[in-house]
């Protein structure tokens, strides 16, 4: 991923910054297209994983739709010229203003997360003399076996409508003439590496579909959400998620009714591996047990380790280049400059002997990296550079 030339370029660029390899992104998207088209599956990209314009333009060029979770994401998708009919809008707390914006742009579908939200969308659509397409986001009560902060499909989570509410929802729909039910939506969580969770989802979706068939409610679209995980430990050996097995699994286990379309909303699996956070070592400091490598990037640039105890592979790019020299490995706690003890990228990380000025790469940072960056401690907004720049 990093040749001499690129490392040389990193050396002459002020740190920290995100580096995006657009070739890796394109290869990932090509693979997703190839594997999903085998079954006529429709793929949307979850903008919240990375809403960088350059990234969005590449994704859009592969004719992938947009999955948004805020009004501003819908706006971004519209501005980046995603077709309105390819935009879906989910989220437990859509404001009136956000709903109105989406109605004005006649997006493909609102993924509704509660009865009250349906009533509000109906009212706002009525005021505009419009009909809003909706899908019911149903909580399938499937355990995604992932970090508790990124599990979304359990009854205890705030997301979606629970199965025991379906009778009430079906009744309510009869009294909401400005809504058109066009689908069912599910999303069980993120960074799911145990694919059996998706099989459980399929079986649950089949059950829920039976409920709708038995109530003579026709469902045109099934949206199974996203959540496919990536390999944070071995980004070079597993550069692409196993899209083949993933899509095949849905084809094998989902009972797709005649004429029904199946939609996916992938975020992380499309963009994680194309991004790297590049930083410099500011100081190396002796600690009690290990030394500290203090970087000029911290939780303000990449929050995932502090927020979810997430792992990112850490590499010292300045020490990769020396041929035939045996590297002297040492353990470092790799930390950022922010005044929080959670501002730590890894404890006792084994790195070649590291010095002030070395270039450090935090791998697999293309998803939920730059988008979550903040100005805490009045930090500068993190920059981005792209392969080929
Ligand atoms: C976050 C999210 C996604 C994408 O999740 P990934 O794990 O990044 O694939 C898809 N759908 C909804 C509704 C989401 O909130």
Q: Which atom of ligand 1 is nearest to the CA of 265?
A: 10
Query: Which of 159, 161, 187 should be mutated for ligand 1, with most atoms under 8 A from CB?
Result: 187
To the question of pTM greater than 0.85 for the whole model, the response is: yes
- Contact call for residues 338 and 22 (beta carbons, < 8 A): no
Q: Per the structure block, which two tokens stand in for 327?
A: 């590297």
Residue 189 Cα to ligand 1 middle (Å): 7
The domain locations on the chain are 4-17+273-386, 22-271
Question: In CATH, what is the architecture of 4-17+273-386?
Answer: Beta Barrel (2.40)
- In order, the DSSP letters of 195-225 are THHHHHHHHHHHHHHHHHHHTT----EEE--
> What is the model's pLDDT at position 280?
98
Residue 227 Cα to ligand 1 middle (Å): 6
> What is the model's pLDDT at position 352?
95
* Spatial separation of the C-alpha atoms in residues 192 and 5, rounded to whole Å: 35
**Sign (positive/negative) of CA torsion 270, 273, 274, 279?**
positive
Ligand 1 site: residues with CB under 6 angstroms?
A: 46, 48-49, 67, 69, 90, 187, 190, 225-228, 265-269
Residues 6+ apart with CB under 8 A from 101: 71, 74, 75
Question: In CATH, what is the architecture of 22-271?
Answer: Alpha-Beta Barrel (3.20)
> What is the model's pLDDT at position 142?
86
Q: Which atom of ligand 1 is nearest to the CA of 150?
A: 7
> Mean pLDDT, consecutive 10-residue segments, the chain of 389 residues?
90 97 98 98 98 97 97 98 97 97 98 97 98 96 76 75 93 97 96 96 96 96 98 97 98 97 98 98 92 98 96 95 77 96 96 96 98 97 91
Residue 112 Cα to ligand 1 middle (Å): 15
């Amino acid at each position: 991923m990093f040749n001499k030339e690129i490392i040389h370029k990193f050396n002459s660029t002020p740190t920290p910054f995100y580096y995006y390899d657009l070739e890796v992104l394109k290869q990932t998207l090509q693979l997703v297209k190839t594997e999903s088209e085998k079954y006529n599956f429709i793929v949307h990209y979850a903008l919240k994983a990375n809403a960088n314009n350059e990234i969005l333009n590449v994704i859009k060029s592969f004719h992938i739709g947009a999955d948004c979770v805020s009004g501003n994401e819908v706006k971004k998708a519209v501005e980046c010229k995603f077709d309105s009919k390819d935009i879906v809008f989910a989220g437990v707390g859509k404001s009136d203003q956000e709903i109105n914006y989406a109605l004005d742009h006649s997006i493909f579908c609102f993924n509704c997360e509660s009865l009250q939200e349906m009533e509000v969308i109906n009212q706002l659509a009525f005021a505009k003399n419009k009909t809003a397409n909706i899908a019911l986001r149903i909580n399938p009560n499937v355990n995604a076996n992932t970090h508790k902060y990124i599990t979304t499909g359990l009854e205890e989570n705030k997301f979606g409508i629970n199965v025991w509410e379906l009778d009430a929802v079906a009744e309510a729909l009869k009294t909401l003439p400005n809504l058109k039910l066009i689908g069912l939506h599910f999303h069980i969580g993120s960074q799911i590496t145990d694919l059996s969770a998706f099989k459980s989802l399929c079986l649950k979706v089949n059950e829920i579909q039976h409920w709708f068939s038995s109530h003579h409610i026709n469902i045109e679209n099934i949206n199974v959400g996203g959540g496919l995980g990536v390999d944070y430990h071995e980004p070079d050996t597993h550069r692409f998620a196993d899209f083949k097995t993933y899509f095949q699994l849905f084809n094998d286990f989902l009972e797709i009714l005649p004429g029904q379309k199946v939609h996916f909303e992938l975020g992380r699996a499309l963009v994680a591996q194309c991004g790297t956070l590049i930083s410099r070592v500011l100081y190396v400091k002796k600690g009690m047990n290990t030394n500290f490598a203090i970087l000029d990037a911290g939780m303000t640039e990449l929050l995932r380790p502090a927020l979810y105890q997430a792992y990112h592979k850490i590499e010292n790019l300045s020490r990769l280049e020396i041929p035939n020299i045996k590297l002297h490995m040492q353990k470092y706690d790799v930390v950022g400059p922010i005044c929080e003890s959670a501002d730590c990228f890894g404890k006792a990380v084994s790195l070649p002997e590291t010095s002030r000025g070395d270039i450090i790469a935090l791998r697999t940072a293309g998803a939920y990296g730059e988008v979550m960056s903040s100005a805490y401690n009045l930090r500068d907004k993190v920059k981005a550079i792209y392969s080929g720049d």
